[in-house]
């Protein structure tokens, strides 16, 4: 009776043997002194031009070539980090190549790789694909090499459930964490995705909808109390002055400390362009410790962009609101609705802004593609607008309206002096003493540059002065520039 020894089974999967280390290089060309890679060549028998193939990196990182003594396998010692993936691809596809190199004390230094246009036909030297890739990689910067610990090598939160098996297992294991209506919806769609009695399109849409829904963390509507001191610090960091606005925001969000739920009404920030409405919205998201997503109503001319399209169409897809939930990965988030007053009906299908009513009521939102009511108790809407008169009364009634006035000239001076100019100088790598502005020079800046509402012109003026000062320092050789009224007026010409 034969005895089978499975201990020596060659089909047992073995760990890949990595023989090389990587090094960073930004050289635009390679040479024997600065090669693409280095191979072992202890006896020095590799010729200037050597034909062969890289081995499959799944088993071992090496290069095989024909010599007078038969096939020789030589290990890769070092590889330019830009070329690691390319060499791995050449090995996986067993593409024959010709190496050009030189024997050095370290080994065989390869500075050119060309395809020989023979073998399995994966490439053709006439096409020039390999040379195109080589040139592209030489023109690239070295990739960052971050060593990951074994515990950090994979992050479960980055995983997307796309296959029917993974979705099925997830619903089995975590289905009870879903809201009741979504759990029932998931089971029905899973049945459709597995059914052989529906069309391929229906199964595909059901599987895509399940993948989106299972990627969202469905959280409770309980929110931890906020720290008033930290909240005020965040507002002061984003806004200079506007004390009444900060006070109104604090009064609105502090409700969380007693109710542990989001305020009943969202915020509608109204004011001229450039006063920092969006920055306030981001600050509130930081205070609430919630992820945020933006919705630009000025670019939406059809309600279907928000509500999604029906699955009866082959190219159907979810709406922007549902995609925002999917991208944030959580049911609790801040919706920043920009330019609410610029929403309009471009196709005669209704006003896109009216679609937001159910979202703002926190009663749930239904996407036509998902065919399911999405709970919105954890959504806090913050809208921005320039003109309140262009917003419908039903929408206005669902917000706590905060009017944001334009900054006074004195406030713009302080913003320029304390925030805008230091920020620009830091970004340009300049010291504060290299670019200074006198008081009368600052008055001239306000008169000549800051001619519209908001603080964008203030920031642009700081950019202009700093750039001019840097030019004088680098080209004219001065050590510092002090702008008085005369210099500022001359700069305007």
DSSP secondary structure string, 352-397?
GGGGHHHHHTTS-EEETTTTEEEP-TTEEEEEEES-GGGS-HHHHT
Cα–Cα dist 175/169, whole Å: 9
Q: Which residue in 60, 90, 337, 373 sits closest to 213, CA to CA?
A: 373
CATH superfamily of 228-403: P-loop containing nucleotide triphosphate hydrolases (3.40.50.300)
| 409-492 is a CATH 1.25.10.10 domain | no
Q: How far apart are CA 441 and CA 491, in angstroms?
A: 11
Angle 84-92/129-138 helices, nearest 10 degrees?
160
Taking each helix axis from N to C end, the angle separating 277-288 and 228-238, rounded to the nearest 10 degrees, works out to: 160
The pLDDT tens digits for 442-493 are: 888 888 766 677 778 888 888 889 898 899 888 888 888 888 888 888 876 4
Q: In a structure prediction context, what are the per-residue pLDDT tens digits for the chain, which is 493 residues long?
A: 344 343 444 444 556 778 888 888 888 888 888 999 999 887 677 888 888 888 887 778 888 888 877 788 888 899 998 888 888 888 888 888 889 998 888 889 999 998 876 545 555 555 567 787 888 888 877 776 554 444 444 444 455 677 888 888 888 877 777 888 888 998 999 999 998 888 889 999 999 999 888 888 888 888 888 889 998 888 887 777 778 888 888 888 888 888 888 888 888 988 888 777 888 888 898 999 988 888 888 778 778 888 888 888 888 889 888 888 888 888 888 989 888 887 765 555 667 777 788 778 777 888 889 888 888 888 899 988 888 888 888 888 888 888 888 788 888 888 888 888 888 999 988 888 888 888 888 888 888 766 677 778 888 888 889 898 899 888 888 888 888 888 888 876 4
All CATH 1.10.8.60 domain ranges in the chain, comma separated: 409-492
Residues of each domain in the chain carrying CATH 3.40.50.300: 228-403
* DSSP-assigned letter for residue 240: S
Question: Cβ distance 300 to 344 under 8 Å?
Answer: no
Angle (CA) 413 418 422, round 5°: 120
According to the model, what pLDDT value does residue 152 have? 44
Task: Give per-residue pLDDT as tens, 301-344.
Answer: 778 888 888 888 888 889 888 888 888 888 888 989 888 887 76
Strands 379-385 and 266-270: parallel
Q: What tokens appear for 54 in the block? A: 């890289």
């Amino acid at each position: 009776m034969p005895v089978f020894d499975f201990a020596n089974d060659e089909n047992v999967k073995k760990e890949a043997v990595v023989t090389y280390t990587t090094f960073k290089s930004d050289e635009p060309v390679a040479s024997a002194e600065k090669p693409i890679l280095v191979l072992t060549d202890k006896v020095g028998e590799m010729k200037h031009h050597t034909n062969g193939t890289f081995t499959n990196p799944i088993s071992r990182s090496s290069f095989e070539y024909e010599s007078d003594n038969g096939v020789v396998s030589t290990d890769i010692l070092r590889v330019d980090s830009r070329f690691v993936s390319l060499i791995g691809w050449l090995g996986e596809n067993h593409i024959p190549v010709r190496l050009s190199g030189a024997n050095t004390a370290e080994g065989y230094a390869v500075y050119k790789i060309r395809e020989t246009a023979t073998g399995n036909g994966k490439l053709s030297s006439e096409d020039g694909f390999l040379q195109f890739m080589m040139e592209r990689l030489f023109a690239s910067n070295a990739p960052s090499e971050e060593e990951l610990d074994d515990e950090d090598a994979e992050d479960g939160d980055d995983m997307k459930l796309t296959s029917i098996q993974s979705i099925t297992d997830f619903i089995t294991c975590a289905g009870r964490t879903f809201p009741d209506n979504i759990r029932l919806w998931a089971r029905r769609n899973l049945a459709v995705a597995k059914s052989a009695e529906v069309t391929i399109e229906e199964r595909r849409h059901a599987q895509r909808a399940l993948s989106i829904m299972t990627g969202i963390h469905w959280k409770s509507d309980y929110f931890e109390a906020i720290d008033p001191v930290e909240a005020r610090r965040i507002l002061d960091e984003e806004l200079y002055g506007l004390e009444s606005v900060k006070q109104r925001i604090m009064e609105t969000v502090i409700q969380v400390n007693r109710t542990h739920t989001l305020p009943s009404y969202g915020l509608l920030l109204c004011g001229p362009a450039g006063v920092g409405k969006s920055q306030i919205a981001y600050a509130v998201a930081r205070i609430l410790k919630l992820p945020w997503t933006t919705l630009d109503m000025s670019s939406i001319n059809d309600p279907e962009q928000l509500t999604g399209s029906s699955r009866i169409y082959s190219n159907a897809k979810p709406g922007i609101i549902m995609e925002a939930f999917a991208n944030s990965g959580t049911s609790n988030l801040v919706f920043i609705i920009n330019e609410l007053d610029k929403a309009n009906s471009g196709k005669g299908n209704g006003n896109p802004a009216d679609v937001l009513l159910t979202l703002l009521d926190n009663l749930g939102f239904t996407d036509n593609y998902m065919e399911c009511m999405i709970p919105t108790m954890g959504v806090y809407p913050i809208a921005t607008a320039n003109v309140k008169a262009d917003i419908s009364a039903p929408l206005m009634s669902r917000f706590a309206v905060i009017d944001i006035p334009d900054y006074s000239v004195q406030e713009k001076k302080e913003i320029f002096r304390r925030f805008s100019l230091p920020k620009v100088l830091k970004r340009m790598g300049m010291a504060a003493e290299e670019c200074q502005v006198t008081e009368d020079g600052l008055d001239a800046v306000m008169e000549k540059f800051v001619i519209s509402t908001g603080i964008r012109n203030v920031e642009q003026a700081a950019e202009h002065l700093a750039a001019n000062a840097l030019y004088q320092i680098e080209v004219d050789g001065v050590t510092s520039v002090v702008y008085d009224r005369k210099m500022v007026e001359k700069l305007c010409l």
